Amino acid sequence: EWTMTKFVDTEIERIRKLVGPTGQVIGAVSGGVDSTVAAKLMHEAIGDRFHAILVDNGVMRLNECQIVHKTLTEGLGINLKIVDASEQFLSRLKGVENPEKKRKIIGNTFIEIFEAEAEKLVKETGVEMNFLLQGTLYPDVIESISFKGPSATIKTHHNVGGLLEDMKLKLIEPLRELFKDEVRALGTNLGIPEDLVWRHPFPGPGIAIRILGEVTPEQVAIARQADHIFIEEIKAAGLYRQISQAYAALLPCKAVGVMGDLRVYDQIIALRAVKTTDFMTADWFDFDGKFLRRVSTRIVNEVRGVCRVLYDVTQKPPGTIEFQ
Ligand code: XMP
């Protein structure tokens, strides 16, 4: 009979055998469910011989880096290094509006920084890395779907050379036989906080593809605050688990509004919340009017530079989950 506890035990044994008594493993974490569960499993198996790296790309959610750092190090005991590369990412994103260009810049910069950090780690600690951890799930194995997180980016890149070849890193993929719901069950079994286990997916290019115009530090700040209010209200209303993915997007155009006695000309926030099982089709979430009113009032009152809030009622297809 298959149980999660048995799976954990056999998987930890398998990892220990594979890595050997002195082997070292490196891997990127994002704060998402898959990479966190994979990292925790590695930590249980080989302790600090697993080295996690979190690259702050400057387009993560509000306070996300600090929260992930606290949860993974203090909470889960994972040997984690945070690299603040936000300035590098943001300077390369300057003037870029095209979504595919944003994705390319973020993907390439991520690989560059991850490689540089891996090399630094090897120099500083004198340990040689033997394996690269990937949070690959079963659905990614059977078909490469449109879900490309940092791990997928590393993989495609490293299949054609780079770090994997130079350092002779072998891939280690402890989640490759699991579906998403099994990863969540595994996460709970490993003592990962419920908040993190049930986290909505977040795209690798982050808020950059939710700012529909140029990504500047000011636009990031606005998008972050609006998104934070929306998610906070969703959680307060007890709706977070019923929704598959939700976020606020910042439109690159302005609208007229009145604030007090003044006419203002400010930007527009679009809210998106969907229900889906496979992310290939999705339906918009049917909030009640009171909820939307509360969120829109808070965003307009609390986020400077925004004077209007819209709710996206487009199904997928034809609308994708992201705007870009
Ligand atoms: P779409 O917008 O295609 O999104 O309906 C489907 C799912 O994929 C996520 N997504 C991405 N994830 N890098 C990622 O890591 C990306 O470039 C990317 N684009 C979309 C999206 O958030 C949704 O969960």
Question: Annotated binding residue at 32?
Answer: yes
Average pLDDT (300-308) is 98
C-beta separation of 129 from 122 below 8 A: yes
C-beta separation of 38 from 174 below 8 A: yes
Task: Report whether residue 135 contacts ligand 1, using a CB cutoff of 6 Å.
Answer: no
Task: Report whether residue 89 contacts ligand 1, using a CB cutoff of 6 Å.
Answer: no
Question: Annotated binding residue at 266?
Answer: no
Q: How far apart are CA 226 and CA 209, in angstroms?
A: 15
Backbone angles phi, psi at 243, to 5 degrees: -100, 140
Buried b (16+ CB within 10 A) or exposed e, 69-100: bebbeeebebbbbbbebbebbbebbeebeeee
Indicate if the alpha-carbon torsion angle 108, 113, 118, 123 is positive or negative.
positive
CA dihedral 275, 184, 60, 205 (to 10 degrees): -70
Show the tokens assigned to 91.
């300077």
For residue 306, the cross-strand partners are: 267
- Number of other CB atoms surrounding residue 12 within 10 Å: 16
Cα-based distances in Å from 16 to 164, 234, 300: 21, 41, 53
The residue to mutate among 279, 312, 324, having the most atoms of ligand 1 within 8 angstroms of its beta carbon, is: 279
Question: Annotated binding residue at 288?
Answer: no
| Model confidence pLDDT, tens digit, residues 116-132 | 999 999 999 899 999 99
Backbone angles phi, psi at 104, to 5 degrees: -65, -45
Residue 34 sits at the vertex; the CA angle it makes with 113 and 52, to the nearest 5 degrees, is: 40
Give every CB contact of residue 269 below 8 A, 6+ residues apart in sequence: 226, 248, 249, 250, 251, 299, 303, 306, 308, 309, 310
Please give the pLDDT value at position 289: 98
Residue 290, pLDDT > 50, answer yes
Q: How far apart are CA 87 and CA 58, in angstroms?
A: 7
Chain mean pLDDT for the chain: 93
The residue to mutate among 34, 59, 93, 147, having the most atoms of ligand 1 within 8 angstroms of its beta carbon, is: 147
| Model confidence pLDDT, tens digit, residues 74-132 | 999 999 999 999 999 999 999 999 999 999 999 999 999 999 999 999 999 899 999 99
ipTM above 0.85, yes or no: yes
Show the tokens assigned to 71.
């949860």
Backbone angles phi, psi at 71, to 5 degrees: -65, -45
Backbone angles phi, psi at 278, to 5 degrees: -115, 0
- Find the range with the poorest average confidence among 2-6, 119-123, 183-187, 221-225: 2-6
| Model confidence pLDDT, tens digit, residues 189-211 | 999 999 999 999 999 999 999 99
Show the tokens assigned to 148.
């490309």
Please give the pLDDT value at position 145: 46
Please give the pLDDT value at position 160: 38
Residue 34, pLDDT > 50, answer yes
Task: Report whether residue 149 contacts ligand 1, using a CB cutoff of 6 Å.
Answer: yes
